[in-house]
Amino acid sequence: MMKNSRKLETFFIMEKIMKKQIIAAAVAASVSAVALADVSITGAAKVNYTYSDKEAANTDTNQFKKEMDLKILGKTGDTSVVMNFGGGQFDSTDNAAGGGTINLEDNYLTTKVGDVNLKVGTWDNGNNELRTSARSDGKFAASTSVGGFDLTYNAGDAAADETWVVATSMGPVSVSYEQKQTGETIKASAAMGGVNVKYLGLPTDGAGEDRDYIELSGKVADIAVKVGQANADTNTTISGDSWLGDFEGTGADGAGNSGAYDLDDGNDITGIELSSSVAGNAVTFRNVQVSDDDGSVSKDVSINKIIVTRPLASGATFEFTYTDTDSDVANEDSTVFDLELAVKF
């Protein structure tokens, strides 16, 4: 009986050891599976307090606003899936509270088939100095390189999404040409003797509807200098959102919430930017001049902006922006103070 008892005791001890080993192996397998899954989550958030003193109707407004973005990237081999979520909400002490929603914005898949890169889904083509951005569904892009030339074919639900792009580099000069249904996009950039030159052209088939932009940038001592000139023909309007300003056309009279300045056909824009570091702060000054081609009525506008940015010990970034708009058009002068806390993760 003693021997049988010891055998049973030994059996139960061995059984416990085996169970622990099985559990340990299962946990290790699950941890390995998590480690092998290439998934990353990044994002950004910012909150703004904006005070606007506008000559229109002699109105002052105070507004709190927030904006949140979240990007999920999953990758296996040469294939990636991207989902971008964005949302915002503002509350104004002078107006009724506005609602905010979380939207699935960009969502697309990228992969490779041989030497051809493929991208399918929905994504934003980005702002530039001449036009606003656009996002559409059902987009497709195929790109490859042949003999020093980068070739891209784009398509989508809209007929205007179909384009061909050819890009190449010749020493310090990079150029690209995009053929669209109703026009072209021409880009060129070069670095020569410490001066960077950039050109963007949007010629179209319509009469008087061409737009172009040229920029020179460099550094003088510890000051970064940038000068840009955006030109619009008489039958077209610059609608870009860039360092020159937000000209997406929601109006400067306070009707919209984005703060965009509404331009007219034929308005040209000249801007200069000076940036440097002062006592741990990034300081930027911009002067933007809007010139109207209508000789009968002066509609010129001068916009001065000062931006001071400082990283905080908390990991956030504080930014103060002062904007003064002086317009020849009645009731379009304004002064705006904006305080922003932003963080990226």
Say whether both 11 and 98 belong to one domain.
no
With 80 as the cut, is the pLDDT of residue 265 above it? Answer: yes
CB atoms within 10 A of CB 340: 19
Say whether both 4 and 146 belong to one domain.
no
Say whether both 75 and 1 belong to one domain.
no
Say whether both 28 and 42 belong to one domain.
no
pLDDT of residue 95: 43
Residue 274 CA: distances (Å) to CA of 192, 194, 233, 279, 283: 20, 16, 28, 16, 8
With 70 as the cut, is the pLDDT of residue 297 above it? Answer: no
Q: 211 near 128, Cβ under 8 Å?
A: no
How far, in Å, CA of 302 to CA of 290, rounded? 6
Phi, psi dihedral angles at 235 (to 5 degrees): -110, 20
Say whether both 22 and 50 belong to one domain.
no
How far, in Å, CA of 312 to CA of 178, rounded? 43
Say whether both 19 and 117 belong to one domain.
no
Say whether both 122 and 5 belong to one domain.
no
Say whether both 137 and 191 belong to one domain.
yes
CB atoms within 10 A of CB 269: 25
More confident residue, 147 or 1: 147
Tokens of 149: 């030339």
- Torsion of Cα atoms, 220 then 274 then 312 then 246, to 10°: -150
Say whether both 110 and 212 belong to one domain.
yes
End-to-end CA distance of the chain, in Å?
67
Q: How would residue 134 be classed by pLDDT, with cut points 50, 70 and 90?
A: confident
Q: In the chain, what are the helix, strand and coil shares in percent, each to the nearest 5?
A: 10, 60, 30
Report pLDDT digits (tens) over 298-338.
678 999 999 999 999 999 999 999 999 998 877 778 899 99
In which domain, by residue range, is 79 found?
A: 37-344
Say whether both 27 and 133 belong to one domain.
no
Number of domains in the chain: 2
How far, in Å, CA of 207 to CA of 195, rounded? 34
> Among 68-82, 124-138, 254-268, whose mean pLDDT is lowest?
254-268
Tokens of 28: 């290790």
Report pLDDT digits (tens) over 49-65.
999 888 876 678 888 98
Kindly report the CATH number assigned to the domain that includes residue 75.
2.40.160.10
With 50 as the cut, is the pLDDT of residue 256 above it? Answer: no
With 50 as the cut, is the pLDDT of residue 97 above it? Answer: no
| Residue matched to tokens 């049988």 | 4
Q: 106 near 83, Cβ under 8 Å?
A: yes
| Radius of gyration, CA atoms only, the chain | 28
Mean pLDDT score, 112-128: 94
Say whether both 112 and 30 belong to one domain.
no
pTM over 0.85: no
Say whether both 28 and 54 belong to one domain.
no
